[in-house]
């Protein structure tokens, strides 16, 4: 995708918050950006819609920085919605005020308002991303964050010849036409999926929450904002990645889709995975990647196939049974350049002439949990790990869906006239509306939250049973946090439940990266499963897939004071309350304490 350098300038002006860092590390830079959140007319699939963008771009501008740099992003809200921006995967050490989730670390930027996010990138390298953290605005308000090694240091692999960013997302409108791929060939079946968002995603989720129903699924998936060749009226807009024979390319994948975990592959090429979630990993080869929303994966791909055009394609991994989902396939094209730098063939012509269609990758079936699990299990830390310990808090959190009965006199749109919901440890997270949790904590505002999030489920049951008693389907709605001292070691078992339906839940923890010690299926049983913990080289991630009908165990040190949202990165689940908050207290002295709130922190009323 193209770089936006328009609003980007770097400077060495005095900036108190990073002055210490600055002196320690004379090569660090401060990057200034202006993000104007605004309604923008965007044409996709032959229709023009007004969507919310940053600076008129979809996907939004890429932020480029080096490990150790600081960022100052002035966000100006010219849209009609409240907005906040989250810097997904940036640790925000001591700067929780810049983390972004609405009513957790800040009140939203109201229409007409602005807020300047100031934060540092400390010991992180690779691909991260930013996105809106209000309602469903992140559908179109998102972009990549690329963190290069410090000046004078390099990648822990041979320098690639070329770099590409690949942002996987949802399209916002249009007609989805379903092509079925048969033995590496395309046969047109022209069956419209019927589901398409003819309104903006904020309205889609608002209506769903009002009625209790499942929100509409998106109409199309996208690669760098373009649906690709398999939809009606989309061919001219397909994303093309130029490659040159023999060269090694670094592809940085981000799954920015709202509700779709995605398989992605490139015809005729295998990939070497080198990083995930902004952390280097032990290299491994793969022909298919799987990314859950929130996750990033960096791969090396050598252009060693015969010169030509090759499809990159992505479609959903859908682990829930009997559900509707966006089952379309998005494509981009890898186009080899000839020795003079001219494209091997203009892709539009290649596609128009069906006798010379580019080769198509073979993607796993939508419900291929084995493929998804096998891929996720291959990640290992690149460097030996000294695991934090001993564990101060052994936590066991259920993660799953639920149903409320419909209040008398109301008509509800959930299954059999109910209301869909979701919870952790039977608490469905209610987002505050009067103050952010972090401000309420520090200023002593009463009745915004309670610090009694349970360490274990209130009732133990067979979490993954075929049928869980109906009595356990209705969670409590509340704003509960789990409070810990600075420096505590937390080990969290996240246990999926089969209430209503079991499903893979990509769980994201703000403000931290955590070691994934193990994942598995069924009910977690410490006596049996502790033997499977990887205590040698567990991967460090910010988003982990809790396998469908299974569990994941993660461990981290609470060394970052603040209020940190933990949630499922499937946007519908988060909207239903699949979230909680870790409240981490200040430690001793300035270096272990939250910085004071910025003067321009958006007011709450």
> Which tokens go with 563?
């209020």
* Residue number, 79 or 581, with CB nearest to ligand C2O: 581
Site for ligand C2O contains 118 (CB under 6 A): no
* Residue number, 133 or 480, with CB nearest to ligand C2O: 133
* Residue number, 94 or 569, with CB nearest to ligand C2O: 569
Give the range of 295-303, 363-371, 423-431, 564-572 binding ligand C2O by CB under 6 A.
Answer: 564-572
DSSP states of 134-188: STTGGGTSEEEEEEEPPTT---SSPPPSEEEEEEEEE--SS--EEEEEETTEEEE
From the centroid of its chain, how far is CA 545? Answer: 11
CB of 75 vs ligand C2O, minimal distance in Å: 16
Give the range of 266-274, 436-444, 561-569, 584-592 binding ligand C2O by CB under 6 A.
Answer: 561-569
Q: Of 535, 501, 497, whose CA–CA distance to 518 is shortest?
A: 535
Site for ligand C2O contains 79 (CB under 6 A): no
Site for ligand C2O contains 508 (CB under 6 A): yes
CB of 316 vs ligand C2O, minimal distance in Å: 19
> Which tokens go with 195?
């589901």
Per the CB < 8 A criterion, the answer to whether 114 and 101 are in contact is no
Site for ligand C2O contains 513 (CB under 6 A): no
Euclidean distance between CA atoms 409 and 505, whole angstroms: 33
Residues between 568 and 597 that touch ligand C2O (CB under 6 A): 569
Euclidean distance between CA atoms 592 and 439, whole angstroms: 18
Euclidean distance between CA atoms 153 and 163, whole angstroms: 17
Neighbours of 251 (CB within 10 A): 24
Find all residues with CB under 8 Å of 41, minimum gap 6, and list them: 48, 49, 50
| Bridge partners for 142 per DSSP | 131
* Residue number, 101 or 268, with CB nearest to ligand C2O: 101
Query: What is the number of the residue whose Cβ is closest to ligand C2O?
Result: 88
Site for ligand C2O contains 31 (CB under 6 A): no
Beta strands at 85-88 and 261-266: parallel, antiparallel or unpaired: unpaired
Alpha helices in 4-56 (DSSP H): 19-24
Site for ligand C2O contains 60 (CB under 6 A): no
Considering only residues 204, 565, 570, 583, which one is a binding residue for ligand C2O as defined by CB under 6 A? 565
Site for ligand C2O contains 52 (CB under 6 A): no
Site for ligand C2O contains 510 (CB under 6 A): yes
Give the range of 407-415, 526-534, 562-570, 584-592 binding ligand C2O by CB under 6 A.
Answer: 562-570
Site for ligand C2O contains 126 (CB under 6 A): no
Give the range of 67-75, 158-166, 355-363, 563-571 binding ligand C2O by CB under 6 A.
Answer: 563-571
Euclidean distance between CA atoms 24 and 150, whole angstroms: 13
Euclidean distance between CA atoms 449 and 296, whole angstroms: 32
**Using CB atoms within 10 A of its CB, is residue 233 exposed (0-12), middle (13-18) or buried (19+)?**
middle
CB of 508 vs ligand C2O, minimal distance in Å: 5
Site for ligand C2O contains 108 (CB under 6 A): no
The strand ranges marked E within 359-479 are: 393-404, 419-424, 427-429, 476-478
Half-sphere exposure of 33 (CA within 13 A, CB side): 22
Helix (H, G, I), strand (E, B) or coil at 276: strand
CB of 128 vs ligand C2O, minimal distance in Å: 9
Considering only residues 49, 86, 118, 269, which one is a binding residue for ligand C2O as defined by CB under 6 A? 86
* Residue number, 457 or 506, with CB nearest to ligand C2O: 506
CB environment 517-548: b (16+ within 10 A), e (fewer) = bbbbebbbeeeebeeebbeebbbbbbbbbbbb
> Which tokens go with 289?
């990647």
CB of 567 vs ligand C2O, minimal distance in Å: 6
CB of 142 vs ligand C2O, minimal distance in Å: 9
Considering only residues 49, 91, 94, 131, which one is a binding residue for ligand C2O as defined by CB under 6 A? 131
> Which tokens go with 417?
């006239």
* Residue number, 82 or 498, with CB nearest to ligand C2O: 82
* Residue number, 30 or 262, with CB nearest to ligand C2O: 262
Helix (H, G, I), strand (E, B) or coil at 573: helix
CB of 581 vs ligand C2O, minimal distance in Å: 11
Site for ligand C2O contains 88 (CB under 6 A): yes
Site for ligand C2O contains 91 (CB under 6 A): no
Beta strands at 309-317 and 330-337: parallel, antiparallel or unpaired: antiparallel
Residues between 293 and 352 that touch ligand C2O (CB under 6 A): 294
Site for ligand C2O contains 505 (CB under 6 A): no
In the complex, the residues that contact ligand C2O under the rule CB under 6 A are 86, 88, 101, 131, 133, 294, 508, 510, 565, 567, 569
């Amino acid at each position: 995708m193209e770089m936006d350098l328009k609003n980007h300038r770097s400077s060495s002006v005095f900036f108190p918050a990073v002055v210490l860092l600055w002196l320690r590390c004379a090569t660090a830079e401060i990057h200034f950006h202006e993000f104007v959140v605004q309604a923008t007319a965007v044409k996709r699939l032959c229709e023009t819609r007004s969507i919310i963008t940053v600076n008129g771009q979809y996907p939004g501008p890429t932020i480029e920085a080096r490990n150790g740099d600081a960022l100052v992003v002035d966000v100006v809200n010219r849209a009609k919605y409240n907005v906040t921006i989250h810097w997904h995967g940036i640790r925000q050490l001591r700067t929780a005020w810049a983390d972004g989730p609405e009513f957790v670390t800040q009140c939203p930027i109201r229409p007409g308002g602005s807020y300047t996010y100031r934060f540092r990138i400390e010991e992180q390298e690779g691909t991260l991303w930013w996105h809106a953290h209000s309602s469903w605005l992140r559908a179109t308000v998102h972009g990549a964050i690329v963190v290069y090694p410090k000046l004078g240091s390099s990648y822990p692999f041979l320098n690639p010849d070329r770099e590409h960013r690949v942002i996987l997302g949802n399209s916002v409108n249009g007609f989805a036409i379903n092509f079925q791929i048969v033995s590496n060939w395309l046969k047109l079946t022209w069956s419209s999926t019927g589901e398409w968002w003819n309104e903006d995603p904020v309205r889609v989720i608002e209506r769903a929450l009002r009625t209790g129903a499942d929100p509409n699924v998106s109409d199309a998936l996208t690669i760098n904002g373009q649906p690709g060749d398999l939809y009606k009226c989309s061919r001219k807009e397909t994303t093309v990645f130029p490659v040159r024979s023999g060269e090694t390319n670094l592809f940085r994948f981000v799954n920015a889709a709202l509700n779709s975990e995605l398989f992605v592959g490139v015809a005729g090429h295998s990939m070497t995975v080198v990083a995930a979630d902004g952390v280097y990993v032990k290299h491994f080869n793969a022909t298919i990647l799987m990314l859950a929303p929130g996750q990033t994966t960096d791969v090396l791909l050598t252009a060693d196939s015969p010169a030509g055009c090759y499809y990159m394609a992505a479609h959903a991994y859908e682990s829930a049974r009997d559900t509707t989902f966006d089952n379309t396939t998005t494509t981009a094209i890898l186009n080899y350049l000839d020795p003079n730098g001219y494209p091997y063939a203009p892709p539009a012509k290649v596609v128009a002439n069906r006798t010379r269609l580019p080769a198509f990758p073979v993607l796993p079936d939508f419900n291929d949990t084995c493929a998804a699990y096998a891929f996720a299990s291959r990640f290992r830390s690149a460097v030996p790990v000294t695991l934090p310990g001993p564990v101060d808090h052994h936590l066991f959190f259920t993660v799953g869906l639920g149903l409320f009965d419909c209040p008398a006199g109301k008509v509800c749109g959930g299954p059999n006239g109910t209301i869909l919901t979701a919870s952790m440890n039977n608490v469905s997270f209610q987002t505050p509306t009067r103050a952010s949790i972090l401000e309420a904590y520090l200023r002593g505002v009463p009745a915004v939250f309670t610090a009694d999030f349970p360490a274990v489920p209130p009732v133990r049951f067979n979490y993954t049973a075929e049928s869980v008693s109906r009595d356990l389907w209705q969670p409590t709605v509340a704003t509960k946090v789990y409070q810990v001292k600075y420096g505590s070691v937390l080990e969290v078992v996240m246990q999926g439940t089969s209430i209503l339906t079991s499903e893979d839940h990509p769980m994201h923890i703000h403000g931290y990266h955590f070691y994934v010690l193990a994942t598995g299926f069924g009910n977690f049983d410490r006596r049996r499963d502790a033997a499977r913990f990887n205590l040698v080289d567990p991967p460090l991630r910010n988003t982990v897939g809790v396998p469908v009908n299974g569990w994941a165990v993660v461990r981290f040190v609470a060394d970052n004071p603040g209020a940190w949202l933990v949630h499922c990165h499937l946007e519908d689940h988060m909207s239903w309350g699949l979230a909680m908050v870790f409240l981490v207290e200040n430690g001793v002295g300035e270096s272990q304490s939250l910085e004071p709130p910025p003067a321009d922190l958006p007011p709450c009323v």
